[in-house]
Amino acid sequence: MLRDSLRSATFPVLNRVLKAGAALHASRLESRDPFAAQQRIFSHLVARGASTRFGADYGLSELATLPFPEAYRRFRSRVPIRTYEEFWNDYFKEGARESGGRVSLSLQDVTWPGKVPFFCETSGTTAPSKYIPFTMEMFSANRRAALDLTSCYLSANRRSRLMSGRLLYMAGNTELADMGNGVKSGDMSAITLRYRPGYLNPFIAPDAATAMLPWQEKLERLAELLLTDRTIRGISGVPPWILLLLNRCAELGDAPVSRLLPDLELIVHGGTSMKPYRQEFAHLFGNAAPHFLELLPSSEAFMGFQRLGEAQMRLEPYYGVFFEFVPCDEPDGRGRPEPDAGCVPLEEIETGRRYAVIVTTCAGLWRYHIGDTIRFTERDPLFIEFTGRDRFLDRFEEKVTQGEVEEAVRLLNEVPGVEIREFMVGPQIADRRHFWVLAAGNGSSADSAALARHIDEALAGMNADYRAFRDQGRIGPPMVLVAKEDDIYLWSRDVRGKLGGQSKIPHVDPTLEGELVASLAEYCKKRDRR
């Protein structure tokens, strides 16, 4: 009781002070030069990496003495673009041990000076987990990004009550794995939540005990918390998991979400495209929707965020990451750039062109192929749109992008009687066609043949190669399996062992033969026969 009273008395004062500081801070952000910032970050990273084994391999100490144009030219010619698997084999594997099915990993002065204290264990799209190094410098950079995003929001929304309440943070399980030698691993959002600064505690929910619960139990607790705690003003998480939470609130409260959560002001979302889910959010909130802000985060690098009142995100090249960009006509047949692919730095990008993102980071990743693709729509400001992973749906050379796949589902959800909650598509090699598994809401009435026709027409309208291949009979009409709305999540839990937090359903099957979508389809069929 006393704690609640103190918080009620303190928050209004804090709110006024923070808003004033946010306005001043946001005005300073507008004066930053992104291209100069990238040159400074590059020089800092090269100087820091010079004392490592990686630095010795590629002569970083020499580059640290050169002006940026010459240093970058030599850097680009010496250091190959690497995937995670190549980094693992070349630099990380020697510090790894496996015991009882768990991996222990210790890196000291390998690709970054000192010992790496954390590894982000990514959800991945195929079986093996990835262990992405996460240093204290990256921690600091990500905190600055969060501060800047919040400042921009408060500056643009002077009537905001966000800082007089709390943000519900939908992180993964905060019970981190001990990798030995003081090193911890886990979901990046969980590491960030577990080791957040103490001064943020009054502004963050849930409590530590709830954050450590298994996903299904935690989801229930979060829904109950949202319905009872009027201090929660915002939610941060991945769109499909936020939807699960809001739908559970509607079930428990037996009323529209907008009426149940009148104090909800902001939803911060990232990790996967909002397009396929936008219709369902609109249905949940109607005309009383909160503000939505999109982020482009990853375990490897923070890339950008959306400002209130702007339709797109901006690339934010200020947070310990040096960016390079490979035009997407250059990736190889597996959807990734060659080691010597032609890259451009930020100052040489072209608007309207789709790029694979390459990062060099303050966690010791050097010219790392992150797997995301973006398109710049303006240079000043650096407006971007997330265009998906750089794996295409292209086993038949049709090169349908993830962005086009997600747009097709968005258009599906505009058809009366259609309500697609989640989905995956992959190749069906033997029949030379795409195989879609669509998890439909209980109120969805369209049959699989009608859904297939809508998808076929949408993709043909967006992708000239797909249209030509369909006209020539080189690709057959898509096949659709309609599943129950929870089946994809249950499959992810039971088969992949991944549910909640930052775990994402891969919308485009990344396997060569469509093994993932076939596994999902078989699981759904078995459940339907029960």
pLDDT tens-place string over residues 31-83: 999 999 999 999 999 999 999 999 999 999 999 999 999 999 999 999 999 99
pLDDT tens-place string over residues 340-383: 888 999 999 999 998 999 999 999 999 999 988 889 999 999 99
Q: Is residue 411 part of a domain?
A: yes
Q: Is residue 511 part of a domain?
A: yes
Q: Is residue 298 part of a domain?
A: no
Cα–chain center distance at 45: 24
Count the neighbouring beta carbons within 10 Å of the beta carbon of residue 36.
11
State how far the Cα of 283 lies from the Cα of 328, in Å rounded to an integer. 35
State how far the Cα of 310 lies from the Cα of 290, in Å rounded to an integer. 15
Residues composing the chain: 530
For residue 414, give the H/E element and its range. none
| Per-residue pLDDT band at 391 (split at 50, 70, 90) | low
Q: Is residue 512 part of a domain?
A: yes
The rounded percent of the chain whose pLDDT value lies above 90 is: 54
Q: Which two tokens stand for residue 327?
A: 């035009």
- Are 522 and 516 contacting, i.e. CB atoms less than 8 angstroms apart? no
pTM (2 d.p.)? 0.80
Q: Is residue 30 part of a domain?
A: no
Q: Is residue 50 part of a domain?
A: no
Check which CATH number belongs to the domain holding 497 and give it. Answer: 3.30.300
CA distances from 171 to 142, 185, 238, 421 (A): 15, 14, 9, 21
DSSP 89: I
Q: Is residue 498 part of a domain?
A: yes
State how far the Cα of 253 lies from the Cα of 290, in Å rounded to an integer. 19
Coil, strand or helix: which one is 167? strand
Question: Does residue 188 have a pLDDT over 90?
Answer: no
Q: Which of 115-129, 187-201, 428-442 has the lowest mean pLDDT?
A: 115-129
> What total of structural domains would you count in the chain?
1
Question: Does residue 8 have a pLDDT over 50?
Answer: no
Domain ranges, residue 451: 402-529
Q: Which two tokens stand for residue 16?
A: 């006024």
- Are 524 and 481 contacting, i.e. CB atoms less than 8 angstroms apart? yes
The mean pLDDT of the chain is 87
State how far the Cα of 36 lies from the Cα of 143, in Å rounded to an integer. 21
| Per-residue pLDDT band at 124 (split at 50, 70, 90) | very low
Nearest to 424 by CA among 494, 481, 356: 481
Alpha-carbon dihedral sign for residues 87, 92, 96, 102: negative
In sequence order, which residues have a C-beta less than 8 Å from that of residue 194 and are 6 or more positions away? Answer: 174, 176, 186, 208, 211
pLDDT tens-place string over residues 228-266: 999 999 999 988 889 989 999 999 999 999 999 999 999
